[in-house]
Amino acid sequence: MSGALDGVVVADFSRVLAGPYATMLLADLGAEVVKVERPGSGDDTRHWGPPYAADGTATYFTAVNRNKTSLWLDLATEEGRAQARALALRADVIVENFKPGTLDRLGLGYRSLAQEDPRTIVCSISGFGSGAGADLPGYDLLVQAMGGLMSVTGPAPGEPTKVGVALVDVITGLHAVYGILAALRHRDLTGEGQHVEVNLLSSLLSALVNQASALVAGGVVPGILGNDHPSITPYGVYATGDRPLVLAVGNDRQFRALCQALERPLADEHRFATNPARVEHRRELRSELESALASRGADEWQTALTARGVPCGPVNDIAEAVRLAESLGLSPAVAVPGSEVAQVANPVRLSATPASYRLPPPPAAQDPA
C-alpha cells in the first residue's frame, strides 16, 4: 500500500530532536528521507546514552530516526557542499536547524536554491527565530524556562519545574510538519515552493493556549498551581487509599455524579455548586474529596467513577501506560524490518494511506559519502 507522501524526497540537515522528529513523521507517511550527518560523529543523539537499545544504539537516536537513510557529508569541504547542494536540488523539501544564516553561508539557503529550482521548499527550525533572536541557543530546556512553561509547571510557587520530556522540541517538530504539508499543497496548486520557518519559542507560546491567552486577552499572568487547573476544579491529582488518582471533572453534571459516587452531598453546598465557586474554594474541596477517596484504592475508584461517567484514572508510569494502550488495542509498539529493536508507533491512523515502517534508524558504521 502506498503512502500519502510517496515520491516526496526530503533532505534532512537537522539533528537532535525537533527536525529529526518532523522528518521521521514525513518518512512514516512514505517520504524518502536522506539524513545528512557529520563524518566521525553523526547526529549528537547517537551518543546520548544510557539507555541503549538491544543493538547498542542510543534509544534517544532510535526514537526519531526510523525510515531514513544516512549520508555522511563534511560541509566544511567544497566537495561536501557540492554533494549537499546536489541532494538539496533533488529533494522536494529541505529541513534544517542550523544557526540562522549558516545554510546561506554554505550556499544551501532558500534563496540560492530557489533561484535554480523555484519549487524548492526549505523548512528552517530555530530556537528564537531568524531575527533578533538568531544568536540565542535553541535548547528545549532553555525555551521551557524563557518561554514561560516552567513558570506554570511545578509542585508549588517558587519551584519551577521542566516537563519530563523535551516537549517544546516535539511541539515544534509537529508545527514543522504542518508548515511543510501546507507548503507542499501550495506548490501543488501554484508550482511555487517557499521558505517555512518555525521556532521553539513561538511554538511554545502557541501551545500554552489558555495560559498564554490569559495574559494577552485578560492581562493575567498565570502561575504555578501544582497539578491543579487554573480554571476548573476538581481537575488534578488526589490522594486515595493507596496511590494518586487524577480527577478531570469538566462540568457540574460530572461533579454531581462524583459526589453521588462518594456519597457526599457536596454539589448541594453553595461553595461547590458551580465551577467558579469550586475554583474559589478549591482547598476546602480538596480536603473533602480526599477524605472520601481515602476509603478505597485508585483502581477501585476508577472502576466506580468511570461507570458513572466521571473522567478519572491512576497516575501510571510509562510501562503501565504502554500496557494500557496494548489493552485498548492501540498497538503502541511496532516491529521494523531489519531491526531487533521495537519502535513507538506513529499515532496517526489513516484508512487509505497508513504509516509504514520500512527501515530501522541508519547505523553509525557508514563511510563518509
Report domain extents, the chain.
9-207+333-344, 235-320
Q: Which three cell numbers stand for residue 131?
A: 531575527
Antiparallel, parallel or unpaired: β 68-72 and 245-248: unpaired
- pLDDT category of residue 2 using cuts at 50, 70 and 90: confident
If 0-12 CB within 10 Å is exposed, 13-18 middle and 19+ buried, where does residue 304 land?
middle
Q: What is the pLDDT of residue 367?
A: 41
pTM of the full structure: 0.93
Identify the pLDDT of residue 368.
39
360: amino acid identity, one letter:
P
Cross-strand pairs, 236: 247
Residues 6+ apart with CB under 8 A from 195: 110, 114, 121, 122, 124
Q: Which of 12, 28, 140, 169 is catalytic?
A: 169
pLDDT higher than 50, residue 342: yes
- DSSP letters, 206-241, are HHTHHHHHHHHHH-------TTS-SS-SSEEEE--S
CA distance 197 to 201: 12
What are 168-203's pLDDT values in tens digits? 999 999 999 999 999 999 999 999 999 999 999 999
Q: pLDDT digits over 135-161, tens only? A: 999 999 999 999 999 999 999 999 999
Roughly what angle, to the nearest 10 degrees, separates helices 209-218 and 200-207? 90
Q: Contact at 8 Å (CB) between 60 and 45?
A: yes
Residue 328's pLDDT band, with cuts at 50, 70 and 90, is very high
Identify the band that residue 369 occupies on the pLDDT scale cut at 50, 70 and 90: very low
CB atoms near residue 329 (< 10 Å): 6
- What's the rounded Cα separation, in Å, for the pair 254 and 247? 10
pLDDT tens digits along 218-249:
999 999 999 999 999 999 999 999 999 999 99
Displacement of CA 299 from its chain's centroid (Å): 29
Q: Do strands 121-126 and 93-96 pair parallel, antiparallel, or not at all (unpaired)?
A: parallel
Fold of 235-320: formyl-coa transferase, domain 3 (3.30.1540)
- Omega before residue 332 within 30° of 0, cis: no
pLDDT band at 1 (very low <50, low <70, confident <90, very high): low
Quote the pLDDT of residue 144. 97
- Cβ proximity of 161 and 154 under 8 Å: yes
List pLDDT tens digits, range 61-112: 999 999 999 999 999 999 999 999 999 999 999 999 999 999 999 999 999 9
Residue 97 in contact with residue 163, Cβ under 8 Å?
Answer: no
Closest by CA to 305, choosing from 264, 254, 266, is 254
Residue 107 CB neighbours (<10 A): 14
Specify whether 169 is catalytic.
Answer: yes
* 158 contact partners, CB below 8 Å, separation of at least 6: 224
Neighbours of 191 (CB within 10 A): 9
Report how far residue 82's alpha carbon sits from residue 6's, in angstroms, rounded to the nearest whole number: 26
State the DSSP code for 72: E
- CA gap 293, 247 in Å, rounded: 11
For the stretch 33-63, pLDDT in tens is 999 999 988 999 999 999 999 888 999 999 9
Beta strand 235-238 with 195-199: parallel, antiparallel or unpaired?
Answer: unpaired
Residue range 9-207+333-344, CATH number: 3.40.50.10540
Residues 6+ apart with CB under 8 A from 324: 316
Write down the mean pLDDT value for the chain: 95
**% of the chain exceeding 90 in pLDDT:** 95
Confidence of residue 269 (pLDDT cuts 50, 70, 90): very high
Can you point out the beta strands (E) in the chain? 9-13, 32-37, 68-72, 93-96, 121-126, 195-199, 235-238, 245-248, 312-314, 333-334, 343-344
| pLDDT at site 234 | 97
